């Protein structure tokens, strides 16, 4: 059952990825940007321009460019996507896949922590709100959910930097680190295994790096939790209220189940749909955490993508979108499997 579900979902995912690739490929070529001019500068001679265009393969018709990108009937050296090669960046000349493998875990790490923490905060808050609707806890949770559900996260990030770094420093409090990366330059970076700095430093037994990494992750994670928790709380609260009014909770009460048991009944039913929301956030933040990465100079995949986009680096844009879409689809799959594990109505 599970295996068949996973295979079917993966098959669908591959079709989606092909669709996304084609879409991005043509979208960036339809838009009126001139990557060659961006590379050689506006004052370049016609010859230099043509040479650059030839070197990038942009002198070919779109159909041939697509074949080169895919790696079938290619008339250029090097493999294509179908061989697992995303090509080289036009700006850094480094293989894109390698760069993405380096940058992706950075983003994954901080959004994973943020979503976990946000979920852990949201559950008790939503519970408290829903069990006594209309009371203070509920009002606070409600306004918070509405407020933090849509906020300029980049601005809050800046405010936190100003407050916890600049002001705390001024006041002589122990302050947050400067928003300049994942580790203090004085701390030796642990050898990369998973790419998650906290996990790698633990694996290497490098506690100094662990503490410093946690210190540097503190503010970016806090910023994300701040903006994400609102929506999760809002949804959990609505679910809980709906579930508590449901026929099966009323029936459980009339059958004389102890209130603790009724609480469990309600929790389980309210939790399942909220997990889907967490999955959607994952996908959204993978590409949407760009401003926060920029503020804290984390150097994740978001920062990589904005750099590539502003430089009109076509292969890098294509690669980034493809990888982000792939990771999102995998996460959705995992969430769906978890969802099915707690809700038997979801069938594979």
Partner 1 sequence: MTITPGPQVAATADASGVVVIPKRRRIDIWRKYKEEKLFAFGCTMVAIMLLLALCEILHLELGLPTRITPYDPNFATGNVSVPPPPLADWPGLLVDTIFNGAKPPHWFGTDNSGLDVFSRTIAAPRTDMTIALVAALVSMLLGTFVGLICGFYRNIATEVVMRISDLLQSFPVFITAMVLVALSGRQVWNIVLALAIVYAPIFVRLTRAEVMSQSVRGYVESARAVGNPEWKVAFRHVLPNSLIPSLIQVSSTIGFAILLTSGLSFVGAGVRPPTPEWGLMISLGAPQIILGEWWQSIFPGVAISLTVFSFAAVGHGLEEDYG
Partner 2 sequence: MSVQEIVRPAAASNLVMEARNVTVRFPIEDAPEVTAVNNFSIQIKPGEFIGIMGEPGCGKSVAAQALLGLVRPPGYLASGEVLFQGHDLLKMDPEESRKLRGKDIGMIVQNPRYSLHPMYRVGQQIAKVYRAHNPVTKQEAWDHAIAMLRMVGINDPERRANAYAHELSSGMAQRVLIAIALSSKPKLLIADEPTSGLDVTIQAQFLDQMWENVRQTNAAVVLVTQDLGIVANYCDRVLIMHKGSVVEQADVHSFFRSPNHEYSRAILALQREETSEERNTREVKVDSTSKPLIKVDKLTKLFPIRRSESKVHAVDGASFEIRPGECLGLVGESGSGKTTAGRCLLRLVEPTSGDIFYRDLNLSKLTRDEFRKKRDKLQIVFQDPLDSLNPRWTVEQCLMEPLNLHSTMTAEQKRARMQELMQLVGIDPGQIHALPKEMSAGRQQRVSIARAIATNPDFIVLDEPTSALTPETTAEIIRLLMDLSRKLGIAYLFISHDLTTVKYICHRVVVMYLGQVVEVGTKDQVFNTPAHPYAKALLSSHLFPNVENRRVDRAVRETLQGEIPSPITERLPKGCYLYGRCPSQKDRCKAEKQELKTIGDGRQVRCWRVAEGDLPIEVAVGH
179 near partner 1 (CB under 8 A): yes
Residue placing its CB nearer to partner 2 in the complex, 3 or 255: 255
Residue placing its CB nearer to partner 2 in the complex, 266 or 298: 266
* Residue selected from 117, 178, 272, 330 as contacting partner 1 according to rule CB under 8 A: 178
* Residue selected from 15, 132, 268, 334 as contacting partner 2 according to rule CB under 8 A: 268
Measured between its terminal Cα atoms, the distance across the chain in Å is: 7
Stretch that binds partner 2, among 16-24, 90-98, 232-240, 267-275 (CB under 8 A): 267-275
In the list partner 2, partner 1, none, the entry touching 23 (Cβ below 5 to 8 angstroms by class) is partner 1
* Residue selected from 56, 199, 272, 306 as contacting partner 2 according to rule CB under 8 A: 272
166 near partner 1 (CB under 8 A): yes
* Residue selected from 269, 285, 321, 322 as contacting partner 2 according to rule CB under 8 A: 269
* Residue selected from 14, 155, 342, 348 as contacting partner 2 according to rule CB under 8 A: 342
154 near partner 1 (CB under 8 A): yes
* Residue selected from 84, 172, 174, 344 as contacting partner 2 according to rule CB under 8 A: 344
Residues that bind partner 2 (CB under 8 A): 245-248, 250-259, 261, 265, 268-269, 272, 342-345
């Amino acid at each position: 059952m599970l295996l068949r579900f996973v295979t079917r979902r993966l098959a669908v995912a591959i079709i989606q990825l092909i669709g996304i690739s084609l879409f991005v490929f043509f979208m960036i070529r339809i838009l009126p940007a001139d990557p060659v001019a961006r590379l050689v500068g506006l004052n370049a001679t016609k010859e230099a321009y043509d040479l650059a265009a030839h070197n990038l393969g942009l002198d070919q018709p779109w159909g041939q460019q697509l074949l080169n990108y895919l790696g079938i009937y290619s008339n250029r050296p090097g493999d294509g996507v179908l061989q697992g090669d995303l090509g080289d960046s036009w700006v850094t000349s480094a293989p894109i896949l390698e760069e993405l493998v380096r940058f992706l875990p950075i983003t994954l790490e901080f959004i994973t922590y943020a979503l976990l923490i946000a979920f852990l905060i949201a559950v008790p808050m939503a519970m408290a709100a829903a069990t006594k609707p209309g009371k203070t806890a509920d009002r606070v949770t409600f306004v918070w959910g509405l407020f933090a559900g849509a906020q300029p996260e980049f601005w809050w990030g800046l405010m936190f930097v100003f407050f916890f770094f600049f002001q705390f420093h001024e006041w002589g409090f122990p302050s947050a680190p400067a928003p300049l990366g994942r580790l203090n330059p004085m701390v030796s970076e642990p050898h990369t295994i998973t790419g998650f700095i906290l996990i790698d430093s633990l694996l290497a037994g490098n506690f100094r790096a662990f503490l410093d990494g946690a210190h540097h992750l503190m503010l970016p994670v806090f910023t994300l939790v701040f903006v994400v928790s609102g929506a999760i709380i809002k949804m959990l609260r609505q679910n809980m209220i709906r579930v508590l009014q449901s026929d099966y909770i009323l029936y459980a009460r009339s059958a004389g189940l102890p209130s603790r048991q009724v609480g469990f009944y309600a929790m389980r039913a309210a939790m399942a749909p909220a997990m889907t929301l967490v999955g959607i956030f994952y996908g959204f933040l993978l590409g949407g955490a760009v401003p926060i990465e920029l503020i804290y100079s984390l150097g994740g995949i978001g920062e990589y993508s904005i750099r590539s986009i502003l430089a009109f680096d076509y292969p890098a844009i294509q690669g980034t979108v493809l990888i982000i879409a792939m990771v999102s689809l995998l996460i959705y799959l995992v969430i769906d499997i978890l969802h099915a594990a707690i809700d038997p109505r979801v069938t594979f």
